[in-house]
Amino acid sequence: MKIPIKEAIQQRPLLGDGAMGTQLMIAGLEQGACGEEWNLAHPDRVLAIQRRYAEAGSDCILTNTFGGSRIMLNRHGNADNVVAINTAGVDIVREAFKSAGREGYVIGDIGPFGGLMEPYGEFTEEQVRNAFIEQAKALVDAGADAIIIETQTGLEELGLGIAAAKEAGAACIIGSMAYDVTLDGSTFRTMMGIDPERAAEFMEERGAHIVALNCGTGMDMPRATEAIRRYKAATGLPVMAQPNAGQPKLVDMKVTYDETPQQMGRGGVPLIEAGCNIIGACCGSTPDHIRAFRAAMDEHAGVASA
């Protein structure tokens, strides 16, 4: 029996996974199509991506359910498949660990609902709350070890996500913010103006267990490390980082990211030394980036115990 994720991160830092969206594109998903639908239509392709992460050394893998809320799925005519898509998402991660011969944690992924709430937008708070509760329940019922509410920019939506995960009975709840470096480069905050200190305080107050950051603009490894330091100064909760693989660049009409696995791997050590409990990566990262993190983490653990 594996120990709960909350206990595991007290013993050693865990390695997360890399990008899903950009990997699905490489596997043939069309721009704007429903990647979560592949959990039912092409589970083999989703499994192949996640197995590569498990083989690269991931201890935790996020389910392919970023857009798996009713509101997001409804845009693709998949509102009737909320439970099936989220359940399959958990099953596929479990299968990925099994086929790689590795034990690991399934993190149920909930991304933004992709719109605005009243009075600025068309969705009521009730609709968003219900959509998050439905998705969180499907993920927890299928056996997810944790729930991550990720790529969040405002506290209102984050709060609804955390409450939904709580209501679903999630054993571990992770809140993850997307920060953008300001134009003058002096600091970073979310699109809605939230800084790491405020986010950390809010998450602690609402009962999240892990305070995280992912994605964002200009949030390279040193910036992610700075965010982790600021989180740790603001809260006693464990922390997690999933930065992008550098900046997106258009090369031959294809979006590529400019940070190599070696560069990212080197940035992993300062992140561990800053006290990061789970290290993963977001857009543009690949199984090679995760393998580079694994090597850096194992080497660091060896040095630390030597």
**Binding interface with Zn ion (CB under 5 A):** 215, 282-283
Q: Give ∠ CA 54-58-63 in degrees, rounded to 5.
A: 75
- Ranges of beta strands (E only) in the chain are 14-15, 60-62, 105-110, 146-152, 173-177, 180-181, 188-189, 210-214, 239-242, 248-251, 254-257, 278-279
Of the pair 104, 284, the CB lying nearest Zn ion is at 284
Q: How far is the CB of 191 from Zn ion (least distance, A)?
A: 14
Of the pair 140, 227, the CB lying nearest Zn ion is at 227
Of the pair 133, 283, the CB lying nearest Zn ion is at 283
Do the beta carbons of residue 101 and residue 56 sit within 8 Å? no
Of the pair 89, 112, the CB lying nearest Zn ion is at 112
Of the pair 68, 234, the CB lying nearest Zn ion is at 68
Q: Give CA 186 to chain center in angstroms.
A: 25
User: Which residue, 142, 138, 136, is CA-closest to 161?
Assistant: 136
Look at strands 254-257 and 248-251 and give their pairing: antiparallel
Q: How far is the CB of 66 from Zn ion (least distance, A)?
A: 9
Contacts 24+ apart (CB under 8 A), 92-96: 92/39, 92/43, 92/46, 92/47, 92/50, 92/63, 92/64, 93/50, 93/61, 93/62, 93/63, 94/143, 95/47, 96/47, 96/50, 96/51, 96/53, 96/54, 96/61
SS3 state of residue 71: helix
Q: How far is the CB of 179 from Zn ion (least distance, A)?
A: 12
CB-side exposure of 102: number of CA atoms within 13 Å? 20
Of the pair 81, 242, the CB lying nearest Zn ion is at 242
Of the pair 29, 282, the CB lying nearest Zn ion is at 282
Q: How far is the CB of 298 from Zn ion (least distance, A)?
A: 25
Do the beta carbons of residue 78 and residue 123 sit within 8 Å? no
Q: How far is the CB of 299 from Zn ion (least distance, A)?
A: 26
Q: How far is the CB of 19 from Zn ion (least distance, A)?
A: 7
Q: How far is the CB of 119 from Zn ion (least distance, A)?
A: 29
Q: What is the DSSP letter of 79?
A: G
Q: How far is the CB of 248 from Zn ion (least distance, A)?
A: 10
Of the pair 168, 216, the CB lying nearest Zn ion is at 216
